[in-house]
Amino acid sequence: MGWMSRILGVIMAGSGGVLLIFGMDPTTGIFSYVYFFLGLLMMSMGFALITGGRQQQREQKPPPPTVTEIRCDNRECTFKEIRDFEKGDYILKPVDVPCPKCGGRMTVEGIYIVREEPEQTITI
């Protein structure tokens, strides 16, 4: 649900509230019941419109990209490269290109995604 229904919801809830208050006024007379229930109905429909679309938006987040981590086999050399995953990569695959730092052989040390952890709301 888009912004349109959100705005419509706010308007409906607002006018429902006005009707409700109008209905509770003893001077309105015999139709106060009608106003009262109409106000309740409009308010609940309005709130339903406001909150309705929220769930879907959260689900449509794309998964984080997969990255390939390449490291030099030489333990003293600290060269490390992180690039996007390419089809055919696998962990511990020997890489064809030599290390740009020392010219040694390199290996795929890891393929992973970095998950964004949702903020911890429960701290127990």
Partner 1 sequence: MQIGLPTNDFSWIINLAFFAFILIFSLYGAKIQMWQWLKQIEAGLIELKRMMLESRQTAIDTFKIYGRTEKDVASEIDRWLDYFTIMPVDLDPAGILKRLDHLLDNRRDRFQEFVSELAPDATEIQVQSLENTLEVSQVLDLIFRIVRHFYILGKKTGSQIMIMQIQMQMPDLLRIAKAYFDAIAAFSDGKPIGDGIGPLVITKFAREQGATPDTYVHEISREVGYYPVEFEERTVLALRATGPGGTVGKPGFAVKKLVEENKGKIARIITVDAALKLEGEELGRVSEGTGAAIGDPGPEKHAIEQAATENGIGIEAIVIKEDEAAAIGVIPKQVIDSLPEVIERIKTAILKRTKPGDKIILAGIGNTIGIGL
| Cα 67 off chain centre by | 21
Is there binding between residue 115 and partner 1 (CB under 8 A)?
A: yes
Q: What angle do CA 68, 70, 76 make, to 5 degrees?
A: 155
Single out the residue of 17, 45, 89, 95 in contact with partner 1 (rule: CB under 8 A). 89
The one-letter amino acid code at 64 reads P
Q: How far apart are CA 17 and CA 40, in angstroms?
A: 7
**Angle in degrees, 0-180, between the axes of helices 32-52 and 3-24, rounded to the nearest 10:** 160
Task: Give the total of residues touching partner 1 (CB under 8 A).
Answer: 31
Closest to Zn ion by CB, 12 or 99: 99
Site string for partner 1, 66-85 (x = CB under 8 A): x------------------x
Q: What would the two tokens of residue 109 be?
A: 């040390």
| 32: partner contacted, choices Zn ion, partner 1, none (Cβ within 5-8 A by kind) | partner 1
Q: Are residues 32 and 19 in contact, defined by beta-carbon separation less than 8 angstroms?
A: no
What residues make contact with partner 1 under the rule CB under 8 A?
A: 23-24, 26, 29-30, 32-34, 36-37, 59, 63, 66, 85, 87-93, 108, 110-115, 117, 122, 124
